[in-house]
Structure 1
């Protein structure tokens, strides 16, 4: 889900998608790091190609050009190497840098830039985002972590919308948290339908324009430029 970017905020308020204690063994040597990195890259390739359920550890080891014994040196299970794949990719996948509305004279430009960053990141990681949906459907622990992260972004968006309302830049008649839930969910679903389900076969520019118009219209931020044909 897209929000407004801020260099001053960190991602500390947003929980990780994975349990940091379940990322496998950490290498103590450069050689070990290279092997572990190769296994993580191979695992992403295999997961994206075969899906989480049908992926096999022997295929991951073969893709990494190492033995299954080497795999077990660094990871105990498919769950652990999948967690490591997500840990490596989650910042780019979920674009946590876009997390608040800056104090600016043109919040619409920030909304547009944030939506673009989100859609482009989602497109780069479309197959991995599809895997996220699959694993969340079968693993309650992962589903809870994913939901907690989504909730954190909604809360931050709600605070940002409330800030715009307090400065007279957004419609004060809209409940900020309800708006955050609706608009964040809309952008997330647009990305899923465009890049995972292939339902919306439109260019990124059109997605950005449409999502930005819906965001700004809903919040009462519409400008003449956005209304123009």
Structure 2
């Protein structure tokens, strides 16, 4: 998959967003208002894009005053960070177990499917993240570091398969991980999002490419 194929839940992966320094509500009502603003911001960003979105559109979408926005957020960038924080658990699929005790081909197929379903569920936000990465060096570096950690985790799983004699031992695990994971992420954006092919067909093809790329030997 694009990020954490053949991995456990990535608890050691850097968060997409850190809102610890932001203003936090002190009441339950304030928490509800802030959550409504974050939900409204996601709708506005997905509708208008990051650059096209205006701060005034966000409280309007949430049916509250513009002044309310500034009680919790200082800028468009800050509320976008809050949007990512709210979505980041949903954007990572639950992960799959190590390949040790399972059929690795079945693990790859299930993980590809889980990733692609999660990607489709958050496709517009994925596109927004690409936009923001182009204009925000800090966010771009954060995405790069996250991607590197996911690639390293997948590489360890590939190395395990090589040690078990199930995968091509001549492959560099890290480069292979980067190439195959990048392939799945790209096809998700370029094929699934515009609905050029059905999910099942894409899952079948990318899984075959993983299996063929690794020269994976079935365990049964």
Q: Same fold (TM over 0.5)?
A: yes
| Alignment correspondent of 1:214 | 209
| TM superposition shift of 1:27 | 1.4
- Separation of aligned partners in 2, 1:222 and 1:29: 57
| Alignment correspondent of 2:191 | 194
- Separation of aligned partners in 2, 1:163 and 1:67: 56
Does residue 37 in structure 1 map to residue 35 in structure 2?
Answer: yes
1:164–1:66 distance in 2 versus 1, CA, 3 Å: same
Unmatched runs of 5 consecutive residues or more in structure 1: none
TM, length-normalised to structure 2: 0.93
Unmatched runs of 5 consecutive residues or more in structure 2: none
Verify the 8 A CA contact 1:126 1:195 in the aligned structure 2: no
Per-residue CA deviations over 1:12-34 (Å, capped at 9, x if unaligned) read 32111123445x31112110110
Verify the 8 A CA contact 2:99 2:161 in the aligned structure 1: no
| Alignment correspondent of 2:14 | 15
Q: How does 1:98-109 map to 2 (within 5 A)?
A: 98=95, 101-109=98-106
Per-residue CA deviations over 1:87-118 (Å, capped at 9, x if unaligned) read 111122243x3266331241100100000001
Does residue 165 in structure 1 map to residue 166 in structure 2?
Answer: no
Verify the 8 A CA contact 2:191 2:197 in the aligned structure 1: yes
Per-residue CA deviations over 1:185-205 (Å, capped at 9, x if unaligned) read 101101110244x2x600000
Per-residue CA deviations over 1:25-78 (Å, capped at 9, x if unaligned) read 111211011000000000000000000001011110001011111111111111
Verify the 8 A CA contact 1:108 1:216 in the aligned structure 2: yes
Q: How does 1:147-186 map to 2 (within 5 A)?
A: 147-186=144-183
| Structure 1 runs, 4 residues or longer, greater than 4 Å off | 222-225
Per-residue CA deviations over 1:157-208 (Å, capped at 9, x if unaligned) read 0011001111112111111111101101101101110244x2x600000110
- Separation of aligned partners in 2, 1:102 and 1:27: 44
- Separation of aligned partners in 2, 1:166 and 1:224: 14
> How many aligned positions are there?
218
| Alignment correspondent of 1:85 | 83
- Separation of aligned partners in 1, 2:192 and 2:95: 20
Equivalent residue of 2:74, what SS? coil
Verify the 8 A CA contact 1:164 1:170 in the aligned structure 2: yes
TM, length-normalised to structure 1: 0.89
- Separation of aligned partners in 2, 1:90 and 1:99: 18
